[in-house]
Amino acid sequence: MTNNDILKKLRVALQLRDEQIVEILELVDFRISKGELGNFFRNVDHPKYMECGDQILRNFLNGLVIYLRGTKEEPKNPMEVLQKNKENMVKKVKTDRPAEPKAFGTKPKAAGTAGKKPFAKSDKPKNPLGNIKFNNGKKK
């Protein structure tokens, strides 16, 4: 099992988003961008895949301890922190969904088309070449 696998499993188990992982790493003064972080979660055969080093995993785990337990001066209850994350995820999912589901097969009307007639289609198909006749050098 690689460091990337461990990082992926912790991310899923604790329901962490990329922003939260960046925030956790900043708790231990380790700066990383969301783009670099995303490279750790890619498939091994992806061209932008990056191996997660020991230093990054070590800093993430140290930051995770501070994130969940707090510091000696300001201790936290880890279960409360995880519950707060879960509530934030539920709120985020509810706000992302549209209020009413759209009916299939209905298209929104354009603003200025109320009094216009629809474009009439002609019955016979048009020849895309027009009246051009090809000879190819042969006589009939």
- pLDDT on residue 85: 76
The whole-model pTM stands at 0.59
- pLDDT on residue 5: 93
- pLDDT on residue 131: 72
- pLDDT on residue 86: 77
Positions in the chain short of pLDDT 50: none
pLDDT digits (tens, 9 = 90+) for 3-39: 999 999 999 988 889 999 999 999 999 999 998 999 9
Paired tokens of 76: 């936290």
Length of the chain (residues): 140
